[in-house]
Amino acid sequence: MTEKEMQIQQKQEVQQAGEPTKPEKQYVPAVDIFETAEAVNVLAEMPGVAKEGVEIELENETLTIRGVMAPVVCEGETVLLQEFQPGSYLRKFTVAETIDQEKIQATMADGVLTLVLPKLAPAKPRRIEVRGS
């Protein structure tokens, strides 16, 4: 056990221009992003989201992570305390690096999404010969 106490943060709600049609809450998942020589790694915290509920899109350098929380069945129960509510997660990033779209890997474990975006091998410089007419 390390001696570090966890810093506590509150869940942030998405501030967006358009209003959602569903009355559910939309949260901003907390993320860790780190880059190695080969890939960009994204870890996103989305508790309550099963792997079927995750949607990842990469389009025009915009990476969209969306997660829908699986509904919790609590029929016939009286709520005594509610500190978290069902909803969905949404976050968008602009990816500057060129990503090999075919090799993107995503795994979901214990409510944390791990996304590996492998970088495309840099294009080899091509010499263009200028021919005389």
Q: Which residues within the stretch 59-88 sit at the binding site for another protein (CB under 8 A)? A: 70, 72, 74, 76-85
Whole-number Å distance between alpha carbons of 73 and 75: 6
Using CB under 8 A as the binding rule, the residues of this chain from 95 to 124 that contact another protein are 108, 110-112
What are the structure tokens assigned to 113, written together?
């999404």
What does the per-residue mask of binding to another protein show for 15-54, with x meaning CB under 8 A? ---------------xxxxxxxx---x-x-xxxxxx----
For another protein, the closer of residues 37 and 130 by Cβ is: 37
Output the smallest distance, CB 103 to another protein, in A: 18
Q: Which residues contact 32 (CB under 8 A, 6 or more apart)?
A: 41, 42, 43
Query: Tokens 């829908």 belong to which residue?
Result: 68
The residue whose two tokens read 């590996």 is 116
Sign of CA dihedral 6, 10, 11, 13: negative
Question: Two tokens at 50?
Answer: 């099963």
Choice between 75 and 129, CB closer to another protein:
75
CB of 31 to another protein, least distance (A): 6
The residues binding another protein (CB under 8 A) are 1-11, 30-37, 41, 43, 45-50, 70, 72, 74, 76-85, 108, 110-112
